[in-house]
Structure 1
């Protein structure tokens, strides 16, 4: 249980990485080559590329796939700020992190209450001839 708590504390860093990647992808001054690398890093944070996140580009929070969101925010210059995060323990394999998200685009600012499912599972890693089971966290559905 104490190791799960440590992983839960690092969840916020993954969520912040997600929004930092989105900000870079939406930035008009980010090169296409860098955007390709950022997309790969962004998708590696998630359980699946087809995971449903929320579409913050419209007034109502509606579900959208991560791939669709990445395409939709191109050259829109978004920035994001996270505050008031809390973890809710649900099971041994996932939990939910709730947070407030401030979204800025030009002169438009919005505050949203969000929650993100976070998966916690073992994977087998190979180090030369040695295999070891390690635990990893991956982001899941957001609303």
Structure 2
């Protein structure tokens, strides 16, 4: 009886260690999980998402667009994010405070033309287990005046199970996050 309890305890202990070990592997930073070339490819793709984001922001300020088209643009913006309440920099204000994305989209829809340009240079740092930070500069032109703002933006990296017909496959997706 004691041998059986001892065996059961040893077996339970080994499963506990195995579970902790596999959980620890999920916390490995992205730069250790992927080769540098693969991670760089995902980071470059995220810069394209950032450029798309600012193109959408600019389109929202076009006074010639109808509300239905602006609504579709807003949906496209939300699809770039995991959460529509992520904090973003309010580029319509002079002090560049942070506000929820949803509120910023409403402000852009009601503002006059604003032109955005994302800098060609981007730096990727602070790599964690499910995100990295992208540093870039935005040029904002409104009413003939241009200002520049440095932005640090989280880009989340998620593994998602997707269905392809009758097959399931894990794929990786990037989503934009909070701006600092």
| Equivalent position of 2:44 in the other structure | 9
Give the equivalent residue in structure 2 for 1:98.
Answer: 135
Matched position secondary structure for 1:115: strand
**How do residues 116-131 of structure 1 correspond to structure 2 at under 5 angstroms?**
116-131=153-168
Picking from 63, 66, 90, the partner of 1:31 is: 66
Query: What is the aligned counterpart of 2:57 among 18, 22, 28?
Result: 22
Q: Which has the larger radius of gyration?
A: 2
Q: 2-side partners of 1:72 and 1:140: how far apart?
A: 19
User: How far apart are the structure 2 equivalents of 1:89 and 1:4?
Assistant: 13
Query: Is 1:78 the equivalent of 2:124?
Result: no
Alignment gaps of 5+ in structure 1:
none
Normalized per residue, the structure richer in strand is 1
2:147 aligned with 1:110, yes or no? yes
Query: How big is the shift at 1:85?
Result: 1.2
Look up the SS of the partner of 2:85 in the other structure: coil
Alpha-carbon deviations, 1:58-97, whole Å to 9, x = none?
1212110000001111242111111121111421310000
Which 4+ stretches in 1 moved above 2 angstroms?
Answer: none
Q: Which residue of 1 aligns with 2:104?
A: 69
Task: Please state which structure has a larger fraction of its residues in helix.
Answer: 2
TM-score (norm 2): 0.76
Task: Give aligned pairs, total.
Answer: 143
TM-score normalized by structure 1? 0.94
Q: What residue number does 1:56 align with?
A: 91
RMSD, aligned α-carbons: 1.1
> 1 CA distance for matches of 2:140 and 2:84?
22
